[in-house]
C-alpha cells in the first residue's frame, strides 16, 4: 500500500522507487500484486506521467487514511508505553480566531490536560488536502466541499456584515444594508490566495443575485482588508465576529442568504476519540450562548 501511494503521489515508477529505497522491478511487482488481490487495474501505465484509474483514485484516497491510522496507532502505542503526551493538529481559517475557536481550544486543553493542541493556519481547501495527507487531524473552515473522503459538520451559519468607513454615505443611517448597494461600491475581498476561498464565497453570493461591484480589490488577509476600509478605499463584507476595528461602521446585510458557514472537517470514518470530544465541547460552548454567537444585537436596528 505504501508503494502504491508513492507511485500515485509521484506519478512516476522511477521516482517512487527512489523515494521508497527499492529497485523499480520489485516495486512494480508489489503494485501488480495489489491489483491482482483487488481484481482491478489501479494505474494506467501507458501514459506519462502515469495516471490513476477511477478505482486507483478511490484506493489512493482510502490508502492515505489507512496509512495515517497505522501511524496514529504506532504513535499512540509509543506514547502510552513511554507515558508521552498525545498531540492533535488543528487547521483553521483566520476569521475563526475571532469566533469560538479560541474558546474551544481552551476548553479542550482544560478537559484533556495531557493532550497538546497545535494550531495551523490553512485555507479551507488546503485543510482538505492536509486532512487527507494526515498532516492535520481536524479543520475549521468556511467553504463547503464535496470530497467524499472528508466528513463535514456545519457548526453555525454566521451572518455577514458590511464594513465601511464612518464617512461613507452608507453609514449615515443606522439600518440594515441591502446587498444591491454593493453594486455602487469598490469592494475589497480577501484572501487573495489560495483560491477558492472566502473571497469566492462573497463574490458568488453577489453573482447569484446579478450584483456587480463598481470595482473589486483583492488583498491577502482580513486585517489588510479592514485597514483599507479605514483608509476609505472601499467596503468589505466580513463575518459578524470579524468586526475587529472600532474605527469602522458595520451594518448587517439584509439578506438571509448572506451568511458564512463555520465547518468542522475530519477524515471520513475516523473514530479517533478527539473528534467526539471536540463536538461535545462545541455543543457545550454553544449552549452557553457566548458573545461571539449573540453579537447581533447592535446590528439588528
User: How confident is the model over 57-79, as pLDDT tens digits?
Assistant: 999 988 888 888 787 777 767 76
**Domain range for residue 129?**
85-155+262-299
DSSP assignment letter at 47: S
Same domain, 175 and 44: no
**Cis link prior to 197 (omega < 30° from 0)?**
no
Contacts for 14 with CB less than 8 Å, ≥ 6 apart: 24
Instruction: Give the residue ranges of DSSP H helices in 112-151.
Output: 124-133
pLDDT in tens, 24-51: 999 999 999 999 999 999 999 888 888 9
Same domain, 218 and 128: no
Nearest of 129, 133, 136, 152 to residue 91 by alpha carbon? 136
- Helix (DSSP H) and strand (DSSP E) numbers for the chain: 9, 11
| Distance separating alpha carbons of residues 161 and 296, to the nearest angstrom | 10
pLDDT in tens, 197-247: 899 999 999 999 999 998 999 999 999 999 999 999 999 999 998 888 999
Same domain, 150 and 267: yes
- The CATH number that applies at residue 175 is 3.40.190.10
Same domain, 184 and 209: yes
Question: What is the reported pTM?
Answer: 0.68
**Tally of domains in the chain:** 3
Same domain, 249 and 266: no
Amino acid at each position: 500500500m505504501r508503494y502504491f501511494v508513492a507511485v500515485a503521489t509521484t506519478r512516476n515508477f522511477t521516482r517512487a522507487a527512489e523515494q521508497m529505497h527499492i529497485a523499480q522491478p520489485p516495486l512494480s511487482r508489489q503494485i501488480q500484486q495489489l491489483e491482482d488481490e483487488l481484481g482491478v487495474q489501479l494505474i494506467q501505465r501507458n501514459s506519462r506521467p502515469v495516471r490513476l484509474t477511477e478505482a486507483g483514485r478511490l484506493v489512493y484516497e482510502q490508502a492515505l487514511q489507512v496509512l495515517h491510522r497505522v501511524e496514529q496507532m504506532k504513535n499512540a502505542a509509543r506514547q502510552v508505553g513511554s507515558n508521552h503526551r498525545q498531540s492533535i493538529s488543528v487547521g483553521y481559517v483566520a476569521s475563526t480566531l475571532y469566533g469560538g475557536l479560541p474558546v474551544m481550544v481552551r476548553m479542550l486543553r482544560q478537559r484533556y490536560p495531557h493532550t497538546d493542541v497545535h494550531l495551523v493556519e490553512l485555507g479551507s481547501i488546503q485543510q482538505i488536502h492536509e486532512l487527507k495527507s494526515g498532516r492535520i487531524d481536524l479543520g475549521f473552515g468556511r467553504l463547503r466541499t464535496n470530497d467524499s473522503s472528508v466528513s463535514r459538520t456545519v457548526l453555525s451559519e454566521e451572518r455577514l456584515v458590511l464594513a465601511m468607513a464612518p464617512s461613507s454615505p452608507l453609514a449615515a443611517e443606522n439600518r440594515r444594508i441591502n446587498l444591491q448597494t454593493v453594486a455602487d461600491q469598490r469592494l475589497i475581498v480577501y484572501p487573495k490566495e489560495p483560491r477558492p476561498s472566502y473571497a469566492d464565497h462573497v463574490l458568488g453570493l453577489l453573482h447569484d443575485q446579478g450584483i456587480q461591484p463598481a470595482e473589486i480589490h483583492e488583498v491577502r488577509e482580513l486585517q489588510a482588508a479592514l485597514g483599507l476600509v479605514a483608509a476609505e478605499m472601499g467596503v468589505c463584507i466580513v463575518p459578524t465576529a470579524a468586526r475587529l476595528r472600532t474605527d469602522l461602521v458595520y451594518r448587517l446585510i439584509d439578506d438571509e442568504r448572506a451568511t458564512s458557514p463555520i465547518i468542522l472537517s475530519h477524515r471520513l470514518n475516523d473514530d479517533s476519540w478527539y473528534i467526539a470530544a471536540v463536538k461535545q465541547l462545541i455543543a457545550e460552548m454553544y449552549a452557553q450562548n457566548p458573545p461571539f454567537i449573540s453579537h447581533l444585537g447592535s446590528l439588528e436596528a
